[in-house]
Each structure stands twice: as structure tokens, then as C-alpha cells.
Amino acid sequence: MDGLSAAPLLTGGTDPARHDHLYWYRDEKGVTSRANAQDKQRATWLAEALRKDRWKAVRFAPVRDRALPDDQWQVELYDLAVDPGETSDLAARHPARATELVALMRSSWRDQYPRAPFGRPWRCRPSPSPEGPSPPPPCSPTARRVPGPRPPSP
């Protein structure tokens, strides 16, 4: 799971790590009729959401095309400090805030998201060979992955 380290909180630190904003992207094709009804018949539409401070913007594309111009998406805006259930859409009353968060959605999208390795590193060990020991080959479908050495403790 991606996220921020809780280590500063566990070790007595006073400055926990924080994200500037949180971004979500949804591209669901198979949903239940109940979920679709709760989402105003938009559960199978492309959707993006972004939360920054007390504000959350959600937008829905009526066709499956991320490159659709911004003015063709349906945008909703919520003030989560007073409306945590997201029942009152404020996009019409705060258009500048909605536009700001939509721009942040656009800049948050990545076609590919590089991930840092997690856990212990892996190394390859050759499968037993009838010819006897040989130098370790690069990882291959017949190689067995085994845990590498543990990193030193701090």
C-alpha cells in the first residue's frame, strides 16, 4: 500500500508527514445496480476526485475518454468540514475553487506511476542443474526467487 510513513508519530516526532492533496481515479466497468443508483447512474463513467484541505472536487466524464475537454465533465464540489456526507454540491457557488481543484486533478494524473520497492530485496537462485554448480544466471522463469539479505537495522 502506498502512503506516508507513520514512523515520526511512533518515535515521538512532532511533525507527521502530510500530503498536499489526495487524488483518486476511477474507471469501473462492472458495478451493481445498487451502486449505480447511489452514484446517480454514473458508476460506470470515468471519474476523478481530489481532496485538498477541507474541499473535495469530483468530476465525471460521460464517455470513456480521459482527454475529454474539461467543460464536458460534470463537476461537483463539497466542503467536507460542514458536509462530510457530500450532500450539497457547491460547484455553482464556488466556481473558482472548483476550477482550481480540476486543474490540480489534471496535473495529478500520471500515465505511469513509478513505485519504490517494498520489503526485502529479492535475488535469483538458479534451479538445481544436473550439470552441477554454475554461476548464478539472471532471473529467468526457471529461477527461484529467494529473499535477499535483510537491510541493516538502524
pLDDT at 49: 95
Question: How large a percentage of the chain has pLDDT more than 90?
Answer: 36
The pLDDT value recorded for residue 43 is 80
Q: Helices (H) and strands (E) in the chain — how many of each?
A: 3, 6
Closest CA to 5 of 14, 17, 23: 17
pTM over 0.75: no
pLDDT, position 44: 80
- The C-alpha atoms of residue 92 and residue 69 are separated, in whole angstroms, by 19
Number of CB atoms found within 10 A of residue 139's CB: 14
Per residue in 24-38, pLDDT (tens digit) is 988 877 778 888 888
Instruction: Give which of 30, 60, 56, 57 is closest to 47, Cα–Cα.
Output: 60
Is 46 in contact with 26 (CB distance < 8 Å)? yes
| pLDDT per position as a tens digit, 85-143 | 999 999 999 999 999 999 999 998 877 666 666 555 555 555 555 666 555 545 554 44
- Per-residue confidence (pLDDT) for residue 79, from 0 to 100: 98
C-alpha 145, offset from chain centre: 28
Banded model confidence at residue 1, pLDDT cuts 50, 70, 90: very low
Task: Return the SS3 of 147.
Answer: strand
- Each residue of 41-81: pLDDT tens digit? 788 888 999 999 999 999 999 888 888 999 999 999 999 99
- Return the number of other C-beta atoms located less than 10 Å from residue 72's C-beta: 11
* Contact call for residues 56 and 105 (beta carbons, < 8 A): no
